[in-house]
Amino acid sequence: MQSLTTRQQEILDLIRRFITETGYPPTRADINRALGFRSPNAAESHLRALERKGALQLTPGSSRGIRLLDEEPVTESHQGLPIIGQVAAGSPILAEEHVRGHCHAAADMFSPRADYLLAVRGMSMRDAGILDGDLLAVHRTREARNGQIVVARLQDEVTVKRFRRDGHRVWLQAENPEFRTLELDLRRDPLDIEGLGVGLIRNGTPL
């Protein structure tokens, strides 16, 4: 949609208001009355301009034949949170090819806000109640404090672990005695914190 002039935006807003108030779109005369125009052509030419710019669609010959073409830009809040599946080495976590779908969940159901849902593989966080297949709600941030559950990227893989740090040493602890804790040295080992686990969504019940 091309950019609108202030007057055109004003008219578009009026139409929107009119529809929510009355339940049907305004006629040219309604628009004129509302804005104080004296010629039926005033509204008409504005509508034509708005149609040219793709803001609305007119149905010729039809009374009140105005349809708003809002199609609000598709953001998370509209198609839901992206669900991230297997993350390939080296590519950003939110890359298109990792998005396995969308979940119509409120991002602000969690606090801090969730930015995406990561499908967890494996049972390494079992004792923290995070099972294989669960969707971990992740808040994007690079800051992590001791004891928090983080989404970390180390050279080739993206993993969910409990974070602990002391100076340049970092421990990524699994919550399952069958898995061992990773010990890293920030001076040699690459480590990126991709985000913080802020919640969990499970679909169905485990066996």
34/68 with CB nearer its own copies: 68
**Interface with its own copies, residue 17, by CB under 8 A:** no
Q: Which does 146 bind (CB under 5 to 8 A by kind): its own copies, DNA, none?
A: none
Long-range contacts (CB closer than 8 Å, 24 or more residues apart) made by 160-165 = 160/118, 160/120, 160/124, 160/125, 160/130, 160/136, 160/197, 161/124, 161/125, 162/125, 162/128, 163/193
Annotated catalytic residue 53: no
**Interface with DNA, residue 60, by CB under 7 A:** yes
Which of 53, 62, 91, 161 is catalytic? The answer is: 161
**Interface with its own copies, residue 4, by CB under 8 A:** no
Which residues have CB under 8 Å from 159's CB, separation 6+? 124, 151, 152, 153, 172
Structure-token pair, residue 146: 């001791």
189/199 with CB nearer its own copies: 199
What stretch of H or E contains 32?
helix 28-35
**Interface with DNA, residue 5, by CB under 7 A:** yes
Q: Which does 204 bind (CB under 5 to 8 A by kind): its own copies, DNA, none?
A: its own copies
62/111 with CB nearer DNA: 62
Structure-token pair, residue 150: 């983080």
**Interface with DNA, residue 62, by CB under 7 A:** yes
Q: Which does 45 bind (CB under 5 to 8 A by kind): DNA, its own copies, none?
A: DNA
- CA-CA distances (angstroms) from residue 67 to 18, 100, 200? 12, 34, 40
The answer to whether 31 touches 22, Cβ cutoff 8 Å, is: no
Three-state SS string over 134-168 comes to: CEEEEEECCCCCCCCEEEEEECCEEEEEEEEEECC
Which of 53, 63, 91, 124 is catalytic? The answer is: 124
Annotated catalytic residue 111: no
Query: What is the rounded CA–CA span in Å between residue 80 and residue 106?
Result: 7
Q: Which does 57 bind (CB under 5 to 8 A by kind): DNA, its own copies, none?
A: its own copies
Which parts of this chain interact with DNA (CB under 7 A)?
A: 5-8, 27-30, 32, 35-42, 44-46, 49, 52-53, 58, 60-65
Provide the binding-site residues for its own copies, judged by CB under 8 A. 22-25, 27, 57, 59, 62-68, 80, 103-106, 108-111, 126, 128-131, 134, 147-149, 197-207
Active site members: 124, 161
